[in-house]
Amino acid sequence: MAVKDEIEGGVAVITLDRPEARNAVDGNTALAVERSIRDMEADESVRACVITGAGGNFCAGMDLRAFLRGEIVRLPGTGFAGVTQAKLTKPLVAAVEGYALAGGMEIALACDLLIAADGAKFGLPEVKRGLVANAGGLVRLPRQLPPKIACEFVLTGDIYGAEILAQHGLINRIVPNGQALAAALEMAHKIAANGPLAVAVSKQVMMESVDWPSTELFDRQNAITAAVFASEDAQEGARAFAEKRTPVWRGR
């Protein structure tokens, strides 16, 4: 089985499960992750998702042997591993232990939040193999790191420790080895406890507004967020606060 799924308390966990290959992505893995992501998006009980790897590593990127066999690891519409170009409405948290290299780092870059163990290693070594990091590394990294630091990552292909990325704001938390999944789940459960409509709309505005003209920021934001203020959840959130109880969200 290339991928394992589980859901608990409104949080889905997708685990890349090819530890013998450092969870490198072959054709079957890409299809399985895409299916898991699609199921998570469609499941109304799921409000946040964590993606991680089995056996002490996150993901070593594309399985080069699968590449030589001609297997498809970049899927139409959803990208590498079925996730790097996926249009997700629900927050996705990466829990990284060990290596997150090449496409593995690009999966992490596609996530909304990133939790890493202090021994985690990141890199985009594609240039060392005559390839390019076009599953997100070339376009996302310069937006998430200072441009010159991003250039160093991309053009040298070297591997770096989690502390380097944390210094530049790419990692939300560094935790002791073996604790990345637990910390990611804690973060995901905090998100899942919030109003699902508010979370989805907040994520949408943050993602889309990057390319909005500055003169249109608030008008475009207000057009999207107005429905939240008119929702049942907004009334429930205010009522629950006044009544000193936990809100019961309806997602509408």
Is residue 106 flagged as an active site residue? yes
Annotated catalytic residue within 20, 41, 44, 106: 106
Amino acid 133: pLDDT: 95
Q: Within 10 Å of residue 151's Cβ, how many Cβ atoms?
A: 13
Residues in the chain where the model's pLDDT stays below 70? 1
- Encode pLDDT of 122-157 as tens digits: 999 999 999 999 999 999 999 999 999 999 999 999
Is residue 126 flagged as an active site residue? yes
Amino acid 1: pLDDT: 65
Amino acid 2: pLDDT: 81
Amino acid 252: pLDDT: 87
Amino acid 94: pLDDT: 98
Q: What is the CATH number of domain 3-192?
A: 3.90.226.10
Annotated catalytic residue within 44, 97, 126, 152: 126
